[in-house]
Amino acid sequence: MSKSDNPSTQKLMDEIDKIDPNDSSLEEKLHEIALKVAEEQKKIQAMVSGSTMAAPAIASDPADAFACEGCQ
């Protein structure tokens, strides 16, 4: 798996590495990680835009957190 300089991102990537593909709650765990990714992206976006407000609410579809401009 890739490595990230961002400790929060690396922690999420490590969580994904630890998931057993045969786990019966796999979908639930991936959904939870997707929500964490969305939260982290909102924080990063707020920092980049210079916003001093708290991160906005998470998008209703956590799968959006994995979509990049090149992938859409």
pLDDT tens sequence across 27-67? 898 888 888 888 888 888 888 887 655 545 545 555 565 55
Give the total number of structural domains in the chain.
1
In a domain? residue 72: no
**Where are the extended beta strands (E) located within the chain?**
none
pLDDT greater at residue 19 or residue 1: 19
Both tokens of 42, joined, read 């909102």
In a domain? residue 43: yes
In a domain? residue 2: no
CB neighbours of residue 38 within 10 Å: 21
Tell whether the torsion through CA atoms of 50, 52, 54 and 56 is positive or negative: negative
Q: Which domain holds residue 32?
A: 7-66
Both tokens of 27, joined, read 């979908």
In a domain? residue 48: yes
CB neighbours of residue 37 within 10 Å: 22
Both tokens of 68, joined, read 């990049």
In a domain? residue 25: yes
